[in-house]
Amino acid sequence: MTEPVFLTGGTGFVGGALLARLVADGREVRALARSAEGAEMVRSLGAEPVAGDLFDHDVLVHAMSGCATVFHVAGVNAMCVRDPGSMFRANVEGTGAVVRAAAAAGVARVVHTSSAATIGESRGMVGAEDTPHRGSFLSSYEKSKYLGEREALSVGAALGIEIVCVNPSSVQGPGRTGGSARLLLGLVNGRAPVIVNTHLSIVDIADCTEAHVLAATRGIPGRRYLVNGATITPRSAVSLLRAETGHPRHVVRLPRAAATLGGAVCGVVSTVTARDLPFCPELARTLLHGHRYDGSLAERELGLHYTPLPQTLRRTLEWYAERGLAPVPFPLR
């Protein structure tokens, strides 16, 4: 396949990794960039920057013309924001705008970066693509991604364009320093963690990237593919990290009720002070709910192979060490 591809979100963690992979595969990539800095980043990765945003219909249609595939990776991932309006606009309305532009440009397929959170499995269940949704949402982010996925599929069906959804769990690996990666950085630098009894699901950034590439050629239209390489408890994660780095030496185990109370208190403080705080009721709900996902459909239908979690951890630690962000991990044994 030699036709160009169009990409949104190329300046982000997931989108940037996908952009670099597509260029490395010899593809001509046109990537949306909202700022001069973003355009320079896109250009430095070997792609052609397209100035605009998700709602610049004419710009999108022109840039997508002649493309075989559109990878829609752009989105807002935020928790504990008092006003989630901009997140819903980007994740829901922006998704519909991209699919409409792709249809107008004659693009055959859109690969939509959704989220494992859209599965909405009940607590204690292992989520799969066909798991019934619990009927409620843990966070505004979860709801926005759920509605965005519905928007992509419904608009695609109405306009006759193929939509394939990739639903990653928590994406980790070299290059990520924000979000949940801040916790990992704190741990390897000796900060004692506060952990609760829950489940965390993780996928390597390389596997997430590969899933998108495979979805473009092998994905079944209208289907979503959960991408999850490992599920682990915080206690097991700490043990794995301690074996690699010696840290953290100590942990603080927080009762679940205390986490719920802490989220509620932070919610009140956020309202009173009119400030967004790093912890809040929706984050507490998400953490305590936990997530376990079955990523085997992507293996069977896309041919995806998952990276073992210890390899992901070591690659990430070595990347941190090279940039002076964390101590050098123990030598390979």
Q: Region of 208 please: left (phi>0), alpha (psi -120 to 50) or beta.
A: alpha
- H helices of 35-180, in order, are 36-44, 57-64, 85-88, 94-104, 140-159
pLDDT digits (tens, 9 = 90+) for 309-331: 999 999 999 999 899 988 887 66
Q: What is the pLDDT of residues 265-297, one digit of tens each?
A: 888 888 888 888 888 999 999 999 999 999 999
Match 């390899």 to its residue by tokens: 311
Give the rounded percent of residues in the chain with a pLDDT score beyond 90: 76
Please state the pTM of the whole predicted model. Answer: 0.94
Q: Is the pLDDT of residue 113 over 50?
A: yes
What the block records as the tokens of 60 is 């999108």
Whether domain 5-171+204-227+292-300 has CATH 3.40.50.720: the reply is yes
Q: What is the DSSP string of 91-131?
A: IIIHHHHHHHHHHHTT-SEEEEE--GGGG-PPTTPEE-TTP
Report yes or no: 290 and 123 within 8 Å, Cβ to Cβ: yes
In this structure, what token pair is assigned to residue 219? 């994905």
Rounded Cα gap, residues 321 and 2, in angstroms: 38
The residues, ordered by sequence, that sit 6+ positions from 298 with a Cβ below 8 Å of its Cβ are 211, 214, 225, 226, 227, 304
Sequence letter at residue 181? A
